[in-house]
Amino acid sequence: MQDQLGGQYSTAFGSLGQYEKGGVEVINDNPKHYAFSNMFEVATGAKPYEKVAVAKNLEYVLEVIRAEGTSGWRATPHDEFALVMDGSLEVELLDPDEQLVSDDASGSIGLEGTPAGKPMGRVQAGRGHMTLLPAGKAYRLHSDGVAVVLLQTIEGPDTVYRWADICQTV
């Protein structure tokens, strides 16, 4: 494939089974050269459903989640977006009978047990699919195997920072 200037480039999409650790590359403002993070390496070392920040801009974060088995129920006062980077994921959505988190909360909040409410359905998402996790609703995630999810959200109480482990060092 060629870019607008006639140069060659290729896009490599990684997975848990095959990825190349990223590094620092000096770029000339060409968006093709930007990469996510070492998300597959982060997911390899993460506990199931641990929310590890790999990028941060003010209160917004991108979190890598290793989806394995079934998560607990979560709720958030703002929309979140889950992008499946590897594997497959089922998202179960529920419209709660009452407000589960305050409007000024940040990030998603883990819930005790199953909240009372009306089931809204399930989303089956595979590699490359993005799913909206709507504000004010409850959700839980499930993967029969292992999936890698990149979650766009706001920093919350369960956001884990491991910059020293993630960032490239000399």
- pLDDT tens string 18-65: 777 666 555 555 444 444 547 888 888 899 999 999 888 888 999 999
- Class of domain 48-162 (CATH, top level): mainly beta
Residue 100: is it exposed, middle or buried by C-beta count within 10 angstroms (0-12/13-18/19+)?
Answer: buried
Residue 2 scores a pLDDT above 70: no
Give pTM, 2 decimals. Answer: 0.78
| Upper half-sphere CA count for residue 130 (Cβ side, 13 Å) | 8
Confidence of residue 16 (pLDDT cuts 50, 70, 90): confident
pLDDT for res 32? 42
pLDDT for res 97? 96
Mean pLDDT of 146-158: 94
84-136 residue pLDDT tens: 999 999 999 999 999 999 998 888 999 999 999 999 999 999 999 999 999 99
| Residue extents of the structural domains in the chain | 48-162
pLDDT for res 12? 65
| Mode of pairing for the β-strands spanning 117-126 and 80-86 | unpaired
Mean pLDDT of 161-170: 67
Residue 1 scores a pLDDT above 70: no
